[in-house]
Amino acid sequence: MEKKIIRDPLYDTFRGLLIWCIPISHFTMEAGHFVQDSFGGVVYLTINVFVIQAFMFLAGYFSKNVDKSRNAAFKSLLWPYILSIFFFYEVRMILWGNANLYFKQPPFAMWFLLALFLYKFFIKSLIKVPYILWISFFIYLIAGCLPFLTEFMSLARIVSYLPFFILGYYVNSSHIEKIKKSNKWKMSMLGIVLIYVSVLLAYKLPQITHGWYLLRNPGASNGVNWTLDITMRLLLVLLGVLWIIVSLNLLPKKENYLSYVGRNTMPIYIFHLVIRQWLKGNDGLSFGIVGVPDPNSVIYYISIFVLASLSVVVFSSKPFVKLYDIVVDGSYEILIAKPIKLTEKIKKRYIK
């Protein structure tokens, strides 16, 4: 098994593209006129059939040093997750004047950090389980049929995205090099086909509503029977894998702005959710001030993409990256690292 990955700009570029898609997805939903069988619905479904899957795949790919992954998991993932519970409580208090602390259910989109923490912390143990990739895939397929896999502690999502993380772990650089040698013309055609699939899902499959694609509840809660749920989960795996292959072939392999964005995903992920909450509580793009643009107009979608892009550019800028580092790393050092060091000194001095 390959233990060390030599990082190149392609992967940061890929992460940059993925994190750019997240606010587009969230803002499309909260802009004020979301309808599944529309251009916005196609955009939303295109993003939600592969972006999180690709994020988990890349996270698994860069977790081959299992000891390093486990040691860094608390500071880089669980600590920001814990802070986010209180941060978004304050955000809701400021915006709406009332809020509740969520402990049984991750606030907003913070389930992603919790899932990644569990994956990275337990990957060292998981890979010791024979056929773990196939086991995780089987559990993923039936997850929508199990009534106890719900939004409670994001159990449904944690189970549903695990196969992509494990797949990423088992894929090595030689596999990636083979994938990257695919014909770019064919990959472009495949990308067009995948977008057409999203069009069909948006316009021709109304019984699978947009909420189902988030994989956060059993299929029955979205009115989907077990056979259709399993069939669609199989389709999601295929779409996710194909989008990953297309992206690895068509994205630029040299340093670019997207690769810069891809190295600063956490501030974007955290801070754009404040904008999302603002949109949600102020009638979307009206911001509580003006009317929401006509959903059939070009200006409506341009507004969504511009706002999402501004969020990415601003929240990946040095001031916000520095702010994130100061708050997260600084609080960790004061509240966690220093007490641990002090405890160790006391043990060495007074306990034999």
Structure tokens at 276: 């999302």
Give the pLDDT band (50/70/90) at residue 288: low
Q: Which among 280, 304, 297, 298 has a CA at the least distance from the CA of 21?
A: 304
pLDDT for 108 equals 75
Q: Mean of the pLDDT values across residues 330-337?
A: 91
Residue 130: other Cβ atoms inside 10 A: 7
pLDDT for 109 equals 83
pLDDT for 103 equals 77
Q: Which among 218, 101, 76, 103 has a CA at the least distance from the CA of 159?
A: 218
Structure tokens at 153: 């502690």
pLDDT for 349 equals 72
Q: Mapping DSSP to helix (H, G, I), strand (E, B) and coil, where does residue 143 land?
A: helix
Structure tokens at 324: 């994130």
> Would the pLDDT of 208 be above 90?
yes
DSSP H helical segments within 49-96, as ranges? 51-61, 66-73, 79-96
* Helix or strand (DSSP H, E) at 238: helix 226-250
Number of helical H runs and strand E runs in the chain: 16, 0
Q: Which among 15, 29, 69, 53 has a CA at the least distance from the CA of 273?
A: 29
pTM over 0.75, yes/no: yes
- What does each C-alpha distance from 304 to 31, 94, 160, 265 come to in angstroms? 7, 24, 29, 20
pLDDT for 352 equals 57
Torsion of CA 237, 311, 200, 241, to 10 degrees: -20
pLDDT for 1 equals 43
**What does the alpha-carbon distance between residue 227 and residue 304 come to, in Å, rounded to a whole number?**
36
Q: Mapping DSSP to helix (H, G, I), strand (E, B) and coil, where does residue 168 land?
A: helix
Contact 202, 45 (CB under 8 A): yes
**What does the alpha-carbon distance between residue 122 and residue 125 come to, in Å, rounded to a whole number?**
5
Contact 202, 38 (CB under 8 A): yes
**What does the alpha-carbon distance between residue 76 and residue 88 come to, in Å, rounded to a whole number?**
18
- What does each C-alpha distance from 331 to 80, 82, 142, 208, 319 come to in angstroms? 10, 11, 40, 43, 18
> Would the pLDDT of 50 be above 60?
yes
pLDDT for 229 equals 96
Count of alpha carbons within 13 Å of 177, Cβ hemisphere only? Answer: 5
pLDDT in tens, 226-255: 999 999 999 999 999 999 999 999 999 999
**What does the alpha-carbon distance between residue 271 and residue 319 come to, in Å, rounded to a whole number?**
12
**What does the alpha-carbon distance between residue 193 and residue 212 come to, in Å, rounded to a whole number?**
22
Contact 226, 219 (CB under 8 A): yes
> Would the pLDDT of 160 be above 90?
yes
pLDDT in tens, 7-44: 689 999 999 999 999 999 999 999 888 999 999 999 99
Q: Mapping DSSP to helix (H, G, I), strand (E, B) and coil, where does residue 94 land?
A: helix
Contact 316, 268 (CB under 8 A): yes
